[in-house]
Amino acid sequence: MASQSVEEHAIAITPVLTVTGSVDNPSSARQQGHEIETLEQGDSNDVEDINYPTGVKLWLTMISLCFMFLLTGLDLTIVAVAIPSLTDQFKTISDIGWYSASYFGKVYTVFPLKTVFIVGIIMFETGSLICTVAVNSPIFILGRAITGLGSSIFNAGIGKVLRHCFPLSNLAMANGLIGASQAIGLVSAPAVGGILIDAFSWRACFGINLPLGVLCIILTAYGFSDPIPNPDTALPLKEKLARLDFFGTILVVPSVACLMMALQWGGNKYGWGDTRIVVLLVASVILFAAFGYLQHRQGEVATIPLRVVKSRSIVAAMWYSACCNGVLAMTEYYISIYFQGVRGFTPSKSGLLGLPMIGGLAVSMGVAAAGTSKIGYYVPFMFATSVLAPVASGLLTTLDLDGSVVKPAVLLGFLGFAIGLGQQAPQLAVQAVLSISDVSIGGALIIFGAGMGSALWICASATLFNARLVTEIQSHSPLTNATALEEVGLSDIRGFIGEERLKAVLVGYNEAVVQTLYMPLALGIATVLGTGAMEWRSIKKKRD
């Protein structure tokens, strides 16, 4: 389908886990030859004395984290430059990472934080190595799958690593640095990929991860020392494995997979009443219900303990993340269709015109990090997103066939800026309302919510777009076979239609895109539900 071919070149936005900024009267000491800071910090039920690292080891850890997320930013978008013909498959496989995010969040509660985090980096590197030396497509796809799982492991733990490195008041700025690093990777990937392919081959796009990844492993191994002992790491291996809830993971992953397949096929490949679609939806509901029942029975050792999901802020953060990431995912997807299908731009030009959204995102994340550290509250920046994002999305629905390309580029930058203001807030809420032992679980839930938001709304919007495309083309160009047009790649539309009907068909195409862009507008408005439900917690005040 025309919309499917766009995915080959779309830039994926992945939310960065977040945290926050300035030490309130820290007491300094020397311990084992290394400078540390001691700050009393805990949740409402416990008070902990945490020896936060400072000096060389802290900066080595931060450099490692920034490099790692620079690589993930590159990895998210460099595939489209390297092998466009296989990008759809690779993205599908890589995205299984967020399916299992909650499971890896649980892993961090029973195994040493440093060990699990480094294992995630090693898996990411292993997948990159397999991609670099792959001799055929199946091996390459296997490499992408391993890379995605590795990324999921260290994504689930980054919030906890930062929480163990910085007091709550300093986490926003730390996370802002990491978010900026990933944004640099996202923005630079097309240029870096092109240079590497011209100078070497497509393999270099994945080989570049290897030396930098090894450096990250070394820096993390040397620089990061977990200051918070976890008694569960001393449990026997059998007990640790029992706490990992393999059965729960076996239930939730196919539940999500069935839902995704039903949404992708329903109304497109098969009718919604088709037996296959009904079976997939029923299976998804049954598996998810079984997972929920299992979590209830397991109590405190569940993958998702009830004490976490009962938190108003966590539920609000999941909803807010799902909406924000749905806005970004749908906008970039259909703006690519607008640039390539309606305006006839090349994929590379389309990608360049989409960069302002990432640039705006990076800038506003820095602004929000500094602002949150200054005032101590993250909710005001969520309100800013809830106000500005619908405005930006609404303006994007005014795009037409013949307007200046400056307009969509500026509006994309505006939208990125609007979303970026509140992008860190969900993870900051995790840090502020949960005990340190639950941070990895809460962070993993936010990743899961963000991933579900992107995937579900992309599937739903595809159904709307395909229906509107047929209707609009039949309305503006009755002699054109709209159903056949769906199977034509974006670059082939003009040759397939012919000059005499081209204008009318493109008008219909533009109308279908514009009407689909009302979905991110609706989601932007819906973020206000998460914003309004979020508790106001200061990251500058100690919790009693």
pLDDT tens digits for 213-257?
899 899 888 888 765 566 665 666 666 666 666 677 778 778 877
Q: List C-alpha distances in Å: 109 to 116, 124, 232, 305.
A: 10, 21, 7, 12
The verdict on 281 and 329 lying in the same domain is: no
Q: What confidence score (pLDDT) does residue 396 get?
A: 94
Q: DSSP per residue over 275-298, as a string?
A: HHHHHHHHHHHHHHHHHHHHHHHH
Instruction: Confirm whether 496 is domain-assigned.
Output: no
Is 184 part of a structural domain of the chain?
A: yes
pLDDT-above-90 percentage for the chain: 16
Residues near 336 by Cβ (< 8 Å), separated by ≥ 6?
6, 9, 10, 350, 354
363 and 412 both lie in a single domain: yes
Pick from 261, 272, 14, 220: nearest CA to 113: 220
pLDDT for residue 107: 55
Question: Which is nearest to 412 in space by CA: 91, 6, 10?
Answer: 10
Q: Report the distance separating Cα 508 and Cα 510, nearest Å.
A: 5
Checking if the pLDDT of 299 tops 80, the result is no
**The pLDDT value given to residue 91:** 42
Q: Which domain holds residue 90?
A: 2-244+303-475+513-533
The enclosing H or E element of 30 equals strand 27-31
Tell me, yes or no, whether 483 lies in a domain.
no
Cite the DSSP H helix spans in 200-346. 204-207, 209-223, 237-243, 246-265, 275-298, 306-309, 312-337
How far is residue 173's CA from residue 372's CA, in Å, rounded to a whole number?
Answer: 9
In a domain, 65, yes or no: yes
Q: For the chain, what is the mean pLDDT?
A: 75
Asked if 268 and 312 sit in the same domain, the reply is: no
Q: Specify whether the CB–CB gap between 148 and 416 falls below 8 A.
A: no
Residue 503 resides in a domain: no
Whether 240 contacts 77, CB under 8 Å: no
Shared domain for 203 and 269, answered yes or no, is: no
Average pLDDT, integer, range 502-516: 87
Q: Are residues 171 and 22 in the same domain?
A: yes
pLDDT value, residue 398: 93
- 175 closest CA partner among 420, 482, 535: 420
| Tokens 């932007």 -> residue | 524
Domain C-terminal end among 302, 323, 338: 302
Q: Does the pLDDT value for residue 361 go beyond 80?
A: yes
Give domain status of residue 543, yes or no. Answer: no
Are both 355 and 381 inside the same structural domain? yes
Pairing of strands 46-53, 34-43: antiparallel
pLDDT at 395 (0 to 100):
96
A 10 A CB-CB count for 85 gives 8
% of the chain residues with pLDDT over 70: 74
**Average pLDDT score over residue span 522-535:** 94
pLDDT at residue 28 in the model: 33
- Work out the end-to-end distance of the chain between its first and last CA atoms, rounded to an integer number of angstroms: 57
Q: How many whole angstroms separate alpha carbon 455 and alpha carbon 250?
A: 20
Sole residue written with tokens 């590197």: 125
Residue 7 has pLDDT above 90, yes or no: no
Token pair recorded at residue 340:
């390539």
Does some domain include residue 495? no
pLDDT at 3: 40
Q: What is the CATH number of the domain that holds 150?
A: 1.20.1250.20
- Is 50 exceeded by the pLDDT of residue 211? yes
- In eight-state DSSP terms, residue 16 is P
Picking from 28-42, 69-83, 399-413, 435-449, which range would have the lowest pLDDT averaged per residue? 28-42
Q: For residues 209 and 178, what is the distance between their CA atoms, to the nearest angstrom?
A: 17
Amino acid at 98: W
pLDDT at position 10, please?
A: 33
Q: Is residue 540 part of a domain?
A: no
Neighbour tally for 479: CB within 10 Å: 9
Structure confidence at residue 497 as a pLDDT band (50, 70, 90): confident
Q: Are residues 84 and 118 in the same domain?
A: yes
The SS3 call for residue 537 is coil
- The total of structural domains in the chain comes to 2
Do 204 and 285 lie in a common domain? Answer: no
C-beta of residue 426 within 8 angstroms of C-beta of residue 317? yes
- Where b means 16+ CB within 10 Å and e means fewer, 171-199 reads bbbbbbbbbbbbbbbbbbbbebbeebbee
Count of residues in the chain: 544
Based on the domain organization, do 311 and 254 belong to the same domain?
no
Q: Are residues 9 and 104 in the same domain?
A: yes
**What number is the average pLDDT over the span 530-538?**
91
Nearest to 182 by CA among 16, 326, 20: 16
Choose the most confident range, by mean pLDDT, from 44-48, 54-58, 271-275, 517-521.
Answer: 517-521
403-458 confidence digits (pLDDT tens): 888 999 999 999 999 999 998 888 888 888 887 777 777 877 887 777 777 777 87
- One domain for residues 336 and 453: yes
